[in-house]
Amino acid sequence: MLVLDELRYSEEHVWVRYEENHTVTIGLTDFAQCQLGKLNYVELPNEGDDIVTREPLGSVECNCLVNDLYSPVYGRVVLVNRDVIDDPSLVNYSPYNDGWIMRAKLFSLHDLEMLMSADEYEKYILTNYPPR
């Protein structure tokens, strides 16, 4: 499981990378894509849509199951990764690089403080998803 130090993480296994000017890049964690398996379909909001913390912002489909994606932040979608819509497996092969899902402009930087650090996220996974 790959967890990057420079990112922030939600309990719903979504990562956030701060870019600049209140803009963040958002994606699914390596842990999430491993748990889900090969993604077949990704549904994302439209550019200009607002996203609200802990509310669904889209969904992913794998093995005929649809899983909601929950927003880790409150903001407005400024860019959607259309490559992921065309080829959802990018999330599986490159969750932190080519497989990012969207960019959003935050309404408040305080949202970042509410997310977990890499160390906190690793502890969260080990506590809530112990190895079998």
CATH number at residue 49: 2.40.50.100
**Is 132 inside any structural domain?**
no
* Residue 95 belongs to domain spanning: 8-108
Please tell me what DSSP assigns to residue 78.
E
* Domain total of the chain: 1
**pLDDT at residue 131 is higher than 80:** no
Instruction: Tell me the pTM.
Output: 0.94
pLDDT at 5: 96
**Is 44 inside any structural domain?**
yes
Mean pLDDT score, 49-67? 93
**pLDDT at residue 64 is higher than 80:** no
Q: Strand 56-62 to strand 41-43: parallel, antiparallel, or no bridges (unpaired)? A: antiparallel
Which amino acid, one-letter code, is at 57? L
For the record, the structure tokens of 62 come out as 């794998």
**Cβ atoms of residues 44 and 99 within 8 Å:** no
**Cβ atoms of residues 55 and 70 within 8 Å:** yes
**Cβ atoms of residues 18 and 80 within 8 Å:** no
